[in-house]
Amino acid sequence: EAQLVESGGGLIQPGGSLRLSCAASGFKVSSNYMTWVRQAPGEGLEWVSIIYSAGDTYYADAVKGRFTISRDNSVNTVYLQMTSLKVEDTALYYCAKGYTFAYDSFDTWGQGTLVTVSS
């Protein structure tokens, strides 16, 4: 069974940096497209970034130039390096696995890790 466990969230001051981790089990991150989606408190879902099996990466305009998605196949983990954090980046960050039978859907989600950007 595919599972994802996020970690690395916390309280950080504006302008600071944080690295989120998403440890996968039951499948290989290198063989799937993997994404980060965030949800501000009481708000909807917002797509953040994606990494495809070939290694190409893409970002939402709101985080482009500040966030970097990567993966380490040896530990089956996907990362989100976040820099120059802003108050509006405060959210629960979910990692999700691409659904094998779909072009752009996500069938396995972690429980999320909370990032709070505040002075």
Partner 1 sequence: QSALTQPRSVSGSPGQSVTISCTGTSSDIGRFNYVSWYQQHPGKAPKLMIYDVTKRPSGVPDRFSGSKSGNEASLTISGLQADDEADYFCSSYAGSYTRVFGTGTKVTVL
What residues numbered 75-94 form the site for partner 1, per CB under 8 A?
94
**Is 46 near partner 1 (CB under 8 A)?**
yes
What track of x and - describes contact with partner 1 for positions 4 through 33 (by CB under 8 A)? Answer: ------------------------------
Out of 11, 58, 84, 118, point to the residue binding partner 1 (CB under 8 A): 58
In degrees to the nearest 10, what's the CA dihedral of 27, 3, 8, 17? 50
In degrees to the nearest 10, what's the CA dihedral of 45, 20, 107, 52? 100
Measure CA 106 to chain center: 12
Cα distance between residue 12 and residue 46, in whole Å: 20
Residues near partner 1 (CB under 8 A) are 37, 44-47, 50, 52, 56, 58, 60-61, 94, 96, 99, 101-107, 109-112
